[in-house]
Structure 1
Amino acid sequence: MAQNNLSSVTEFVLVGFTAHPDLKIPLLLLFLIFYLTTLLGNMGMVLLIQVDVQLHTPMYFFLSHLALLDVCYASVISPQILATLATSNTVISYTQCAAQFFFFTICAGSECFLLAVMAYDRYVAISNPLLYTVAMKPRVCWSLVLGAYACGVSGSILRTACTFSLSFCEDNQINFFFCDLPPLLKLACSDTTNAEITIVVFGNIVIVANAVVILVSYLLIIKAILKVKSPGGRAKTFCTCASHLTAVALFFGTLIFMYMWSGSGQSPEEDKVVSVFYTVIIPMLNPLIYSLRNQDVKAAFKKVTGGFQVSRTCRPEG
């Protein structure tokens, strides 16, 4: 807590859920189910891609890293929510808040870049199918993934340094359920103009730049699909992109609402709902989105589970 007017804040109080104490137990159970489902779905996807040779392609390589990011994404936020709801301890230290913000922005930034990489991968696969394996060699795939992570880390360092270089004085109550940028900026007692300009401009550039890459990739994909003579062939080709488009729409839609439209009139309660959606719900939904209409994933799952059932039912003689 702040000690007099001259001391700085050493801890924050997360008051995002305190307005509804009667919902504490239902929310605890709900978020626990969400988190466990996220871990099971995403780690299951990673393991499935690793064990099935048919899924050892660039597309599923990128998908496995998206699943890992979603696990990290949810693990930065959900344990904090669960601990707060279970113990009613809403206090988080300054250092813990900065660490949570740092790792959260790494995951969010890296996922932005990775989704753009995945759009480029789909463009190469559809426009040049014969040269796809040549263009997307393992070395190229690793370079693209590591580049996405590097961009996420560098952006997180900038945003975290700008945010926590501000002064936080008397008010230390964050009207949110984790340490996010908008509520932290509202608490700062020093001039936030320069920090906000740097953070907002950089964040918007990241979102817009990746959105442009995705948009251009899909415009070229549509152009390539229209050249396919068979209607069935066009539909089948487009289906390979449907899951990625759904994930992009959900992720970028909520980011734009939360950060690019911040301050445009939405209430704190709306911000909380949107934040829960992209920090908790989307990481849980992504494995379902990518497997629901994906015949390769379904076939791999049946193969793995079928092999497991055979190994359990068959016993060696003697």
Structure 2
Amino acid sequence: MFTGLSAFPLTPMNETGIDEVAFTRLLKRLTSAKVDSIGVLGSTGSYVYLSREERLRVTQLAVEYSEGIPIVIGISALRTREVRQLAEDAQKAGASGVLLAPVSYQQLTDIEVYSLYEMVSKSLSVPLCVYDNPTTTHFRFSDELHGKIASLQQVRSIKIPGVPNELDTAKERVKQLRTLLPRDVTIGVSGDPYGATGLNAGCDAWYSVLGGLYPDICLGITRAALAGLSESADNQSKRLEPLWQMFQKYGSLRVVATIAGMQGLTDTPNLPLPLQGLDEVARQELKNILSILKNEISLP
């Protein structure tokens, strides 16, 4: 399941609640494109801003509209007790797998992070993806800790935070990590600017933000890379460089949320306060980029 393109859609919302119509609209784009899996309630899905009841509702909608595509549900929370509750909710709702980051207000130790995954994995009947996201969690996994956690029951993938830009260095990075993992544990790259390089370097999956909005484009990159057509994958990604620069400048969540609103896929605002979309100057910059890409690569 944790291979190919895993597309992570927004959870459109405002201060009155989740926009279920817009969310299902985004899901249908992903099922129509036949992505390999759908990642719901990750960072792009704004999981941390939602109550347990809201997260359950989003999970139920994702499973209902999945059309047979595996649904991976984010279960990250501050307390292990809450993580286990969210895992139970996800499993009962029919999730195919779960995604877990070591979220905390206090800085966590290696022992505490291992304990989190150990306790949660014991209660799971579906596979788990380890979400390594130091920018958000402020916790940095060592390769040795990844290897130890990957040996736990139900752990089947590691979502790493990008790879080096230079391909040979990226290959060495992936190779080094893989030597510490069981054979049935995949490595997935995140950070969309690194998607093509990560796949070309030997990652099994691309956990993609843009894939949650433009799945066909990201599937093209993924299919090329996994077929060994590394130059094609790299060229396709390079054509999206203006978007990657926007991601790095403003944050991928704000960029895709703004695009979704601009293209009428969601209402605006569509993020939980205090988060906001791009300001007018950045919106115009983004609008110009989308106009160019529409002509160059048939961007919808």
Q: Of Structure 1 and Structure 2, which has the larger fraction of its residues in helix?
A: 1
- TM-score between the two structures when normalised by the length of structure 2: 0.28
Of the two structures, which has the highest relative contact order with CA contacts closer than 8 Å and spacing of 6 or more? 1
Greater radius of gyration (CA)? 1
Q: Of Structure 1 and Structure 2, which has the larger fraction of its residues in strand?
A: 2
